[in-house]
Amino acid sequence: MINSTIVRLTLRGLFGRRRFLLLLPLPALVVGMAVLADSLGATPAEWGQPVLVGLGFAAVLPVLALIVGASVLGSEIDDGTAVHILAKPVPRREIVLSKLLVGFVVTTLVVGAGMLLAGLVAGSARLGLGLLAGTAVGTLAYSAVFLLVSLLTRRPVLVGLAYILVWEGLLTNFLTGTRVLSIQQYAISVADWAAGTDVFTGGLSPQVALIMAAVVVVATTGLAVDRLRSFTLTGDTS
């Protein structure tokens, strides 16, 4: 199911890219803001929503998941090195799952560490672990979606940003019915449930959030596998 050579190659490729390395400190922003708010005497109930949800779940998590998710396979397709892996007798499912694993683990570790620390700053280990759980669920769904997007378009970052800003940033705030199709809401709702906190509130029940996240992951991963089977080499036709 998972190919260790592909995982190693993907990790080396990812950490060799500057735009990814530049984004690594992003989660530190969440921790920094939490520490700042705390030191200024604000209570977690006051700074929790804007810092953990507004900055963490709505900005840092999707942006990092997008950059990583779109890079794990998209960058290789972009620079032509994907052929190295694709011209091998490796089942396409194995390639997609290996890439997804890298995207999921890297983003969860990087963003999750920031969210966990921010939760600890708020004085609650359970809040920290809840945030980590929400981050993990959100990351998995985002990674699967952005991996598929990188197979569907040559501009995955642009399409991903449009989803994050327009769909999640605007529509789900105005039309509550669209929350069921918002990965951000899955992450917040799971974090809310796991942390048992009233610092922020999720818009979905944890069951719905988890089921929908699972549906999104399975459906987009299945589509990505099928899409990769039909991978077409483009280039100068001569």
Partner 1 sequence: MSTVELSGVSRWYGNVVAVNDISMALGPGVTGLLGPNGAGKTTLLHMMAGFLAPSRGTVSVDGAPVWRHPAIYRTLGLVSEREAAPDFLTGHEFVLSSARLHRLPDPAGAAARAVALVDLGEPQHRRVGTYSKGMRQRIRVAAALVHDPAVLLLDEPFNGMDPRQRLHMMEVLHRLGETGRTVLFSSHILEEVAQLSGTVQVIVAGRLAASGDYRTIRRLMTHRPHVFTIRSSDDRRLAVALLAKEPVVGVELETAGGLTVRTSDYGTFARALPAVAVAEGIRITRLLPADESLESVFSYLVAS
* Binding positions for partner 1, rule: CB under 8 A: 3, 5-6, 8-9, 12-13, 16, 76, 79-92, 229-233, 235-238
Neighbours of 88 (CB within 10 A): 11
Q: Minimal distance in Å, beta carbon 100 to partner 1?
A: 18
Nearer to partner 1 by Cβ, of 12 and 175: the residue is: 12
φ, ψ at 2 (rounded to 5°): -115, 135
Q: Minimal distance in Å, beta carbon 78 to partner 1?
A: 11
State CA 169 to chain mean position distance: 15
Nearer to partner 1 by Cβ, of 91 and 196: the residue is: 91
Q: Minimal distance in Å, beta carbon 230 to partner 1?
A: 6
Nearer to partner 1 by Cβ, of 125 and 152: the residue is: 152
Task: Report d(CA 209, CA 202) in Å as an integer.
Answer: 9
Nearer to partner 1 by Cβ, of 40 and 87: the residue is: 87
Q: Minimal distance in Å, beta carbon 15 to partner 1?
A: 9
Neighbours of 157 (CB within 10 A): 19
- DSSP code, position 80: T
How many residues in total does the chain contain?
238
Task: Report d(CA 188, CA 201) in Å as an integer.
Answer: 7
